[in-house]
Amino acid sequence: MESRVDAGPTEAGCKRLWTLTRADSPVIGTAIHDGSGVRESLQDRFALSAHQRQREEDPFTAFLINDVPNQVVGHRSRFEFDLNRSRDGALYLTPEQAWGLKVWREPLPQEEKARSLALHDSYYTMLRTFLKQIELDFGRFVVLDVHSYNHRRAAPDVETSQEDAPDINIGTFSMDRDRWAYVVDQLIEHLQTIVVNGRPLDVRENVAFQGRGEQTRFIHEAFPETGCAVAIEFKKIFMDEWTGEPNRVVLDELRRGLAAAVPLLERILGYGS
């Protein structure tokens, strides 16, 4: 298994938008909030530092999906354009849209807004084409839409109760739950077998989040009978969400657990050995 862990704020102008990895499998992993890059024309417009922005990004999620055959990894910060929000809400223009944070020093010029929205449009054009080819090859597919969330939001030493913050939250709001129960139920059972720090993970459905993001909604609308998109929110037990420091041992356990889900999902879809 690869040993490198990459994450962290990036201040340089970022040219990369997203990276695709295409494989001979109907299982796809996405980490669309992993990136922290922003284009050069926005660098001096932020009221937030790269470190402040990282708290609401999903660092290390690309590492978690590294063993999933097909991959889509976002390289731009969600503060430039949020791929998991609809086009109307993809830009954080007010604090109410951004966890109470003032994102910009001054209102964004119209041309900058238009550029960001064009990139949002481009992503979903790409995603439809990418998934269409997998659908043509396999008939059905599963997307593991991987994110992460803060559980020490108030202060570094104040943790959200376990009752309200499972280690993994499975979001299924936008899917036809009955149609895909045979996938989701077995996936949840598998994830519950992952052991971290000597205990099985607490994996529950629609607790901290319901899976209302734009990517899963889009997939279920575009591929209603063939595409199962599961929103997977990992609580940031694999890092210090305030300093950004990773816990390598926990990251490796989570990555192995997600990798072990791939042959299970392939078998469920009828393509495993």
CATH classification of the domain holding 64:
3.40.630.40
Structurally, the chain folds into a number of domains equal to 1
> Mean pLDDT of all residues in the chain?
94
- 9, pLDDT greater than 90: no
| Helix, strand, coil in percent for the chain, rounding step 5 | 35, 20, 45
Residue 2 belongs to a domain: no
pLDDT in the model for residue 81: 98
Range of the domain at 98: 18-268
Give the position of tokens 């992952």: 194
Residue 98 belongs to a domain: yes
Q: How far is CA 220 from the centre of its chain?
A: 16
Residue 87 belongs to a domain: yes
Q: Is residue 211 within 8 Å of residue 177, measured between CB atoms?
A: no
pLDDT in the model for residue 112: 98
Mean pLDDT within 64-93:
98
Name the β-bridge partners of 155: 158
Give dist(CA 141, CA 125) in Å, integer: 18
Give dist(CA 236, CA 233) in Å, integer: 9
Residue 29 belongs to a domain: yes
Residue 13 belongs to a domain: no
Residue 40 belongs to a domain: yes
pLDDT tens by residue, 21-39:
999 999 999 999 999 999 9
Residue 244 belongs to a domain: yes
Residue 141 dihedral angles phi and psi, to the nearest 5°: -150, 160
**Amino acid found at 49:** S
pLDDT tens by residue, 186-227:
999 999 999 999 999 999 999 999 999 999 999 999 999 999
pLDDT tens by residue, 248-272:
999 999 999 999 999 999 999 999 6
Name the β-bridge partners of 205: 170
Burial of 150 (0-12, 13-18, 19+ CB in 10 A): middle
pTM exceeding the 0.85 threshold for the entire prediction: yes
Residue 11 belongs to a domain: no
